[in-house]
Structures are given as C-alpha cells and as structure tokens.
Structure 1
Amino acid sequence: MNAVMLAALKLATTMSLQIAVYDTAIEDFYVEWNDQHYAQGFLWLPGHVEFNTLGQTGLVMVEVWQADQIQISPNVVRAILVPFTVSDSGEIRVAGDDLGDPIPLAQGEYALIFEIRFQNQAELERDPGYEQGDEEYDLLPEWCRFTFVPQVQTVQAEILRADSELAGSSLVLG
C-alpha cells in the first residue's frame, strides 16, 4: 500500500467525545445527533462526517493519511468506512473541541476510513508532551487514523470493525 501522512494532531474531545472531518467550504455544519447516529457511531452529511470516540479520555492522537487502497490496522477496535467529497476548496479540517487547522487534500471523491483504539503505555511514553502525573494523561489517550482513498465510484458506508458500543446493522446517512 502506498500512503502519505498529511497531518498528525492531538485533539481534545472533552465536550462532545466526537471528532469531525469536514470540507472547509462548508460554513455551517452543526447537526443534531439522533439515537441511530449514536448506535452506528457516526453522523454523515456530504462533505462532513462526525465519529464518536471510544469516550474514555477526551484526548485523541490523530493521524490523517492519503492512501491508494482501503486497509485497516489489525489492532483497532472500531473501523468505519464512509464516502467523502472534497470540493474545489482543496482543504479539509479535522476537529475536536476546536475547529482544527486546514489540511490540503485534492478535490475529488474519497473513501474515508476511520480507525480508533486506545494507545498503549509505550506509545504514550514516546509522546513528547507526556509527563507522568499529568492529569491530561490519567487514562490512556485514544489513537485514531483517518485515511482518504481516492475513488472513481462512490463507496457505501460500512462498519468494517465493530466494538461493543456499536449497535444495529442498518446505517443512516444524513
């Protein structure tokens, strides 16, 4: 698999326990979650998607990648695939409690893969911001990867790996 890292971020998600990915051309993206969105772990609209975190810590280490094929890591506890369109803005944002910085990404249709798990102690100790006893790290932070794979045809949303928090087999977009 050919892949390029676009960004590495440390996001606080203490207010919503969600991470949003959106096209910067979208100005008003507030949407109300319903029971089905919570059950499936995400809310999707064109150019905007929000994913539930694992909901333990409120701190998520995020990697954003572009790759040439859909592939998930064997050690993630949750993985979700959704269609994603980048407009001619050529930028996306990945946001937690704040709006995040723009990340360049070419206009086009993508399969967006969301993967999440808890970090292990060794990963935590490699974090240059980590100090033992820091309240921010009381619980192990979560690790998340977003991978954008260019597509010729629109992909269908799919839960690729489900943890015990995800329920239901029918997915709702919108």
Structure 2
Amino acid sequence: MAKLLMACGIGGNRDAIICISHPSKYIGSVYGEAFDVGLAQKFIWYPEFVIYLPPGRSGSYWAEIYVSDTLELQPETIRAIAVPFTVASDWETLLVSNKFDEGSLFCLGKQGNYQLLFEARYLAVNEADKLAGFDWYTSELSNTSQTSAPELIRFTFVPTVEFSEPQILRAEAGFNPPQNLSLNPPYEEPPLHRTDIPLILSSHVTPQTFEFVSICERALQEFYHAERPRAHIHRGSAFGEPEDPMWVDFSNIPSVHPFSISIKRDGSLTLGEVARGEFGQIDRIIWQLKHASEEGFIWEAYHPSLIRRDAEELQQLLLLLKERARNLFSS
C-alpha cells in the first residue's frame, strides 16, 4: 500500500517543468542536446536530478510524494514514466521543485535504489477548489482548454535491488515517445555569463549582448529614477532570421508595467511585449514600438485598439536607448 509522505503546490507559472533532485545538485535550466532529448521523451534523467515536462501548459501542479512496495498506476493517470533513482543515506533530503522555484524538501527515510514513478493527470474544478492556491481555476477556464488546467503530479518511490531501466508506462494521445529512452544525455555547461541575470541562452548571446543589457539597465535606472531593474534574456524569435531579434524582459520598475526591449544583429531596437509558448519560445507579439528616422514612430499591436497609456513616455525611452547603444553597434 502506498504511503503519502508529502503534498504541496508547486509552480504557478508557465515554466511547465517539475523536478525531483538532490538539493545541492538542483539546476534551473538544461541546454542543447539534453533539452532536445527531454522534449521527445518528456523527461531528462541524470543521477542527481530528474526533470519532467508534464502534459499541460499551466505550469501549476499539486504534487504528492509516496513510497510503496509495489509499482501500481492510478486509473485516472494519463501519463506514467518510471525511472531509476538512488538515495545515498537514510536521512538524505530531496527536493521537488519547478524552474526558478525553491520547492519543498522531503525525506524517504531509507537509502537505496528506487524506481521513481511519475504520474500526471489534469485536475477537475471540484478537485482544484479544495486545494490551497488553486482557486484561480474556475468552470469558465475549464471550458477553454484542458491543457490549461492545473495538474496532479504523483511521485511514487518503489524500493528495488537492481538498477531499473526507464519505461513509458502510459502515454496520452499525441505523445509518441522514442523507442529507445535516454539516460544521462550530453550536458552542456552554459557559457559564462553574469550571475545576476537569469538567462535562457540564445545561440548568438555575445559579450556585446551583455554590454547592451548593461546599457539598457543604466538607461532605465536614469529614465525612471528606479533601482536596478531585473533583466531576463530570452531565446526564440517572433519573426525575421532564426533567433533574431532577441528579447530582453525588464521588470521590477515601480509603477511601470513590465515590457521588453529587442535587439537585432544590425543593432536596431524595438520596445514591446511578447507572448510565450509552452517552452518559452515566442508565440506572438502583443505590441511593439519602433522608430525610423524617416517615418517617425511605428506602433504595431496584436489588438489594434491596444495603446499603452505611457506610449509617449516609451517613445522618449526608445530614443534614449538608441542614442546610448549607437556606438556599441556601429562597428
């Protein structure tokens, strides 16, 4: 019989991953081939941590941790994956978390090898409203898209003597896993970067890019008379050449709704806001403001009626940024 060790809410954003790890080995992002492997088989496995890419898009999970003598799937489970996991000591703490989330610690109480069973399904409204932090999920939302529902993620640790091979035990429609599942995919260390900027690295992030971010930070501090804003560089492209432009999200500016600044390889700048897909790629442009010396300012929006109240202020900011970055991209 399965014994419940812990239950907790995880996430509440659109990172759409969940991770079981040894806390000292937890990482925020996986790059390159390892991410491609995980995208195909919906999990990324290393001895120190296992990252899962659950079925839904909300990135909001109710996680339950169990130990059991047997591996048994729940009838409602739509996806089930079993992988090996090793606990080094009886009182070693483990972490269940999602990207950029501190998560929650738990302890199995017994060292050894385990089969770690991951099960996922969508929560119904009458289930979610009984859980702390899930009152945002209403009947109206449930009628839009099931993949936007919060998910119940159930982890079950089953003791085993031998190292168990990974298995896809149940797959929902549309998930067609590869025949051969991968453990320990090649892990690429991200290039050296400033530790105070959380990054989803693009293929053309360069020292010049970091200098551009610094220029923007200083300009925003001066323009808004604010403390240092929080910058986040994103990969992906909404138009143009692959990964061009690059969008840098800026937030933490008092009384200013977050916005982004884009930079192309030719040095042209745009202010705007983008909507992102399940894995962080740019889905569409919500609005953007450009400046061409001959045509003046150009405002484009996903909804034609969308004009920010601070549009004139943004025009002044865009001119300031162009002036500050002119020498950087003139060579």
Please tell me the TM-score bracket, short chain as reference. Answer: 0.7 to 0.9
Q: Residue 104 of structure 1: which of 99, 107, 112 is its match?
A: 107
What is the aligned partner in structure 1 of residue 122 from structure 2? 118
Asked if structure 2 preserves the Cα contact closer than 8 Å seen for 1:47 and 1:86, the reply is no
Quickly say closer, same or farther: Cα 1:160–1:35, change in 2 above 3 A.
same
Q: Which residue of 2 aligns with 1:5?
A: 4
Provide structure 1 residue ranges, at least 5 long, that are not aligned to the other structure.
none
User: Structure 1 residues 23 and 3, CA, compared in 2 at 3 Å: closer, same or farther?
Assistant: same
Corresponding position of 1:91: 93
Matched residues, percent identical?
31
CA contact (8 A) 1:26 1:47 kept: yes
Tell me whether 1:153 sits opposite 2:152 in the alignment. Answer: no
RMSD value over aligned CA atoms?
A: 2.2
Pairing of 1:51-70 with structure 2 (within 5 A)? 51-70=52-71
> Highest Rg: 1 or 2?
2
Q: Which amino acid aligns with 2:96?
A: V
Q: CA deviation at 1:15?
A: 4.6
Structure-1-length-normalised TM-score: 0.87
The code of the aligned residue for 2:114 comes to Y
C-alpha deviation, 1:29, in angstroms? 7.5
2:66 counterpart letter in structure 1: W
Q: Which amino acid aligns with 2:179?
A: S
Q: What CA distance in whole angstroms lies between the structure 1 residues aligned with 2:137 and 2:152?
A: 20
Task: Verify the 8 A CA contact 1:124 1:140 in the aligned structure 2.
Answer: no
1:37 aligns to what SS in structure 2? helix
- Runs of 5+ in structure 2 lacking a partner? 143-147, 185-331
> Does structure 2 retain, via aligned residues, the 8 Å contact 1:41–1:166?
no
* Alpha-carbon distance change, 110 to 13 in structure 1, aligned in 2, over 3 angstroms: farther
CA distance in 1, matches of 2:150, 2:27: 29
More helix by share: 2
- The superposition leaves residues 89-143 of structure 1 with CA deviations (integer Å, 9 ceiling, x where unpaired) of 6211101131322201222110000000100122112224444678xx7742111
Written as runs of structure 1 = structure 2, the 5 A alignment for 1:132-143 is 139-143=148-152
1:14 partnered with 2:13: yes
The whole-number CA distance in structure 2 between the counterparts of 1:42 and 1:75 is 20
TM-score for the superposition, normalised by structure 2 = 0.48
State the distance in 1 between where 2:181 and 2:54 align. 18
4+ aligned runs moved over 3 Å, structure 1: 27-31, 128-134
Query: Aligned pairs, how many?
Result: 171
